[in-house]
């Protein structure tokens, strides 16, 4: 995965606030054919979330958004943590403005690389949060606390339940049971297998974070652009123009 170039800074509240604030655009937004886009979502909780028909892809945002960004992420990957702190806010803002929709494929290979089962438990908990309609908020909290949990050996069931307290309306008997019993273990396995298939000739998968925009991989020199809010936002805007 390489060394982390920047560490994630700020509290969970700041992470969630950033998701909301980046959606406050001050200019009209248009689709590629010049059609005005609908008004932006005012807050993260308004974002549509659903499990795609393939049973592994979590889709967030307006289904009619002109640009689709697919992200492959492992909750324990330090480079994903870096991406979430740098370029990802640009994507979150464009998703709130209905300019993009984001498709997440959640990998869990880091458990095999560094030991433990924290990735699998986190992916299972994220799937449970989707069932509760709180995937986007909970995902922000999980990544905001990735470093401290990784330093302690990776996400545990107790960690994931405690983090869920920070998302209003998420904790419930149903959610707690799903997290504690690994209810979505089959989803965790299937999602990891989809990640591996995305690697093409590499059976280990494409690495994380891996990004595809409208089906085209961001790779080579362009990959560095995803680690800057301005540069990644400009790249995505060029696709929309």
Q: What's the gap between Cα 200 and its chain centre?
A: 22
Helix axis angle, 118-131 to 173-181, nearest 10°: 150
Q: Which helix (H) or strand (E) holds 71?
A: strand 67-73
- Give the model's confidence band at 149: pLDDT under 50 very low, under 70 low, under 90 confident, else very high: confident
Between residues 8 and 118, which one has the greater pLDDT? 118
- Stronger pLDDT, 217 or 26, i.e. the higher one: 217
Contact 41, 47 (CB under 8 A): yes
Task: State how far the Cα of 192 lies from the Cα of 204, in Å rounded to an integer.
Answer: 10
pLDDT in tens, 155-210: 999 999 999 999 999 999 999 999 999 999 999 999 999 999 998 888 889 999 99
190, 56 in Cβ contact below 8 A? Answer: yes
Which pair of tokens denotes residue 151?
Answer: 């330093």
Q: How confident is the model at residue 7 (pLDDT cuts 50, 70, 90)?
A: very low
Question: Do 119 and 110 meet the contact criterion of CB atoms below 8 Å apart?
Answer: yes
Distances (CA, A) of 94 to 23, 144, 217: 7, 20, 19
Read off the pTM: 0.84
- Model confidence at 14, pLDDT cuts 50, 70, 90, reads very low
pLDDT tens-digit series, residues 18-69: 443 333 333 445 655 667 768 999 999 999 999 999 999 999 999 999 999 9
Q: Rounded to the nearest 10 degrees, what angle do helices 135-144 and 157-164 cross at?
A: 120
- Which residues have a Cβ under 8 Å from the Cβ of 80 and sit 6 or more positions away? 73, 74, 143, 146, 208, 209
């Amino acid at each position: 995965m390489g060394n982390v170039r920047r560490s994630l800074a700020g509290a969970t509240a700041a992470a969630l606030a950033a998701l909301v604030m980046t959606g406050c655009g001050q200019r009209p937004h248009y689709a590629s054919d010049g059609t005005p886009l609908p008004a932006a979502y005012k807050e993260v909780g308004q974002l549509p979330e659903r499990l795609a028909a393939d049973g592994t892809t979590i889709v967030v945002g307006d289904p009619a958004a002109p640009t689709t960004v697919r992200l492959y992420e492992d909750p324990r990957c330090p480079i994903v943590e870096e991406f979430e702190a740098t370029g990802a806010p640009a994507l979150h803002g464009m998703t709130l403005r209905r300019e993009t929709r984001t498709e997440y494929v959640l990998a869990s290979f880091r458990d095999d690389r560094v030991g433990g089962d924290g990735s699998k438990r986190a992916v299972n908990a994220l799937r449970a949060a989707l069932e509760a309609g709180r995937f986007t908020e909970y995902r922000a909290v999980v990544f905001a606390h990735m470093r401290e949990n990784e330093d302690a050996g990776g996400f545990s069931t107790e960690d994931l339940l405690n983090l869920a307290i920070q998302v209003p309306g998420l904790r419930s008997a149903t959610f707690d049971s799903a997290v504690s019993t690994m209810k979505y273990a089959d989803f965790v396995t299937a999602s990891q297998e989809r990640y591996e298939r995305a690697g093409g000739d590499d059976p280990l998968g494409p690495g994380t974070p891996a990004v595809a925009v409208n089906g085209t991989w961001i790779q080579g020199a362009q990959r560095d652009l995803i680690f800057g809010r301005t540069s990644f936002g400009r790249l995505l805007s060029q696709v929309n123009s």
